[in-house]
Structure 1
Amino acid sequence: MEEHWLWYLTGAVDTSATMTINVQKDNRNNVGYILLPKFYFSRPTDVKSVFGMIDEYLENTTITYQIKEFEKSNRLEIQNGEDIRKFLDPIVDGFIQQRDRAEYFLDQVLPLFENGSPKSEEKFIEAMEVVDGLAEYPIQPRQSSKYDADYFREEWGL
Structure 2
Amino acid sequence: MAILKIARMGHPVLLGEAAPVPDPTAPDMRRLVRDMAETLADAGGVGLAAPQVHVPLRLFLWRDGPALNVLFNPELTPLDDAMELGWEGCLSIPGLRGQVPRFTRLAWSGQDAEGNRVTGEAEGFAARVLQHENDHLYGIFYLMRMEDLSMLGFTEELARAAEATRGDAP
TM-score under structure 1 length normalisation = 0.27
TM-score under structure 2 length normalisation = 0.25
